[in-house]
Amino acid sequence: MIRHTLSFRFADEVDAATRERTLDALRGFPAHYPDMQNFSLGENISTRDRTFTHTMAIDFASEAELVAYLESDSHESFVREQWRPVIGSQAITSFEYTPRPQADAGRSSAVSTRPHGPFGMEFARIEVPDLQEAIDFLQYHVGLQLEQHTDEYAYLRADIEHHSIELISAPHRTDGVTTAVGYSVESEDVLEQLQKNVVDAGYEVLALQERQQQFCDSGFAVKDPNGLIVELFTEFQEYAEAPHVEIRPLDLVHPFLVTPKYTETVDFYRDVLKFVPSDHIVGSTTFLRAEDRYHHSLAVSLNRGSDEFFVAHLCFAMKSLDHVMRMRARALYKGAPIASDIVNHSASTSIAFYMHDTRFGPRFELCDRHRVFTPEEHETHRARKMTADPRNIDVWRPAADDWGRF
Ligand SMILES: [Fe+2]
């Protein structure tokens, strides 16, 4: 948007009637120049600087529209015949700016009228064949801190939130399996609305897992179209201090779901749970965000190869690229399998690597940062439709056919 301002003072000898006639002519401008937006004209009330008596401000969508207005015959004849003879001094500025959509409402932050979704991801629940081995892996290779531990389950946390991984002992399994994901919700009102959406869409409202009920005010669970349990709750409990672990994640950001029921799954999270699409890799992946404004707090991807559903990875954000590389060095040192090495993500602008030991469940993605939308972007961002090309996933891919190594 281009804002054009004109500050001016009438010449001293100009009488009141002429002044009023000239101001009236300016007030008629929006009717003559339809490209003009947000016309305003007022008397200078500043007590600091009385150089000019009036300012007019107008907006144009582009510089070309501004120039077309300035160079129009009607404008030039107005300036020549009516303006210059009566004006003592003037100052003109034109500048480009990005409008804040909420500025009209007189508020400093974005105001949203859309129904809200969950706030953000808090935890994943993973059933593992060997509890102790999984704890050791998550402590050393992901940087989590163990908080509670029985023979049946363990809680590990990344930051102040009560836990980011809940492990469940499942000796009958050979591979770890993610069975539930937990999301906090910002208020009881939003929680109630989400529960109503779930009922209206014909899904069954389930109770939170019994232990989880102690760690929040209220909540419910629902199975997504793949049977993955999604737990939604308010006031997830937290610790006063973050773990005293220097190299650890700061946040659990998202799960990445791979499903044969791609459309149904995207519809469920978007239409029922009110996640907002941030971007699409056409025909393959949708990135969805929650109210914490991370580019994605959930990703859903099509499984073309089989009918299997699985949580492919969980993403943890570290403090820095240095910390990511230190964790990568640990993985190399211990021979922990790196499933996908350094990737520079196009959508979320993060650099990450992925470890995958199937005994511990999904891949663990450790990234250096994750794009966070501004409040304005969160309300106005238009989801991009990106071509299914490896460079739209990793900007460090050199060519369109470089699909390996993901
Ligand atoms: Fe990810």
Distance of CA 237 from the midpoint of ligand 1 (Å) = 25
Q: How far apart are CA 256 and CA 362, in angstroms?
A: 9
Q: Is residue 201 part of a domain?
A: yes
DSSP calls for 325-380: HHHHHHHHHHT--EEEEEEEBTTT--EEEEE--GGG-SEEEEES---B--HHHHHH
Distance of CA 354 from the midpoint of ligand 1 (Å) = 9
The two tokens of residue 24 are 């009236």
Q: Are 325 and 150 in contact (CB under 8 A)?
A: no
Distance of CA 356 from the midpoint of ligand 1 (Å) = 13
Q: Is residue 402 part of a domain?
A: no
Q: Are 224 and 269 in contact (CB under 8 A)?
A: yes
Task: Residue 26: give its domain's CATH number.
Answer: 3.30.70.100
pLDDT per residue as tens digits for the range 315-357: 999 999 999 999 999 999 999 999 999 999 998 999 999 999 9
Domain shared by 136 and 263, yes or no: yes
Q: What is the pLDDT of residue 107?
A: 46
Average pLDDT over residues 285-310: 97
For a pLDDT cut of 90, what percent of the chain falls above it? Answer: 92
Domain shared by 135 and 30, yes or no: no
Domain boundary among 69, 99, 129: 99
Q: Is residue 275 part of a domain?
A: yes
Distance of CA 384 from the midpoint of ligand 1 (Å) = 17
Task: Residue 251: give its domain's CATH number.
Answer: 3.10.180.10
Task: Rounding to the nearest 10 degrees, give the CA dihedral for residues 110, 111, 116, 120.
Answer: 30
Q: Is residue 398 part of a domain?
A: no
Q: Is residue 115 part of a domain?
A: no
Distance of CA 255 from the midpoint of ligand 1 (Å) = 7
pLDDT band at 406 (very low <50, low <70, confident <90, very high): confident
Domain shared by 216 and 86, yes or no: no
Domain shared by 206 and 257, yes or no: yes
Distance of CA 330 from the midpoint of ligand 1 (Å) = 20
pLDDT band at 106 (very low <50, low <70, confident <90, very high): very low
- On the question of pLDDT at 103 being above 90, the answer is no
Lowest mean pLDDT among 63-77, 143-157, 360-374: 63-77
Distance of CA 254 from the midpoint of ligand 1 (Å) = 7
Q: 263: how many CB neighbours lie within 10 A of its CB?
A: 12
- On the question of pLDDT at 110 being above 60, the answer is no
Distance of CA 168 from the midpoint of ligand 1 (Å) = 23
Average pLDDT over residues 216-235: 98
Domain shared by 202 and 278, yes or no: yes
Distance of CA 257 from the midpoint of ligand 1 (Å) = 10
- On the question of pLDDT at 108 being above 50, the answer is no
Domain shared by 236 and 272, yes or no: yes
Distance of CA 301 from the midpoint of ligand 1 (Å) = 11
Containing H/E element for 198? Answer: helix 188-200
Domain shared by 309 and 234, yes or no: yes
Q: Which residues pair with 6 in a beta bridge?
A: 56, 92
Distance of CA 148 from the midpoint of ligand 1 (Å) = 27
Distance of CA 47 from the midpoint of ligand 1 (Å) = 55
Distance of CA 316 from the midpoint of ligand 1 (Å) = 8
> CB within 8 A of 269, min separation 6: which ones?
224, 275, 288, 298, 300
Q: Scan for tokens 């401000």, then name that residue.
A: 57
Q: Is residue 354 part of a domain?
A: yes
Q: Are 365 and 313 in contact (CB under 8 A)?
A: yes
Domain shared by 151 and 7, yes or no: no
Distance of CA 123 from the midpoint of ligand 1 (Å) = 15
Domain shared by 64 and 126, yes or no: no
Give the number of domains in the chain: 2
Domain shared by 72 and 183, yes or no: no
Q: Is residue 401 part of a domain?
A: no
Q: Kindly report the pTM of this predicted structure.
A: 0.74
Domain shared by 86 and 155, yes or no: no
Domain of 21 in residue numbering reads as: 2-99
pLDDT per residue as tens digits for the range 15-48: 999 999 999 999 999 988 988 999 999 999 988 8
The whole-chain average pLDDT of the chain stands at 94
Q: Is residue 280 part of a domain?
A: yes
Domain boundary among 46, 66, 99: 99
Domain shared by 168 and 56, yes or no: no
- On the question of pLDDT at 105 being above 70, the answer is no
pLDDT per residue as tens digits for the range 170-197: 999 999 999 999 999 999 999 999 999 9
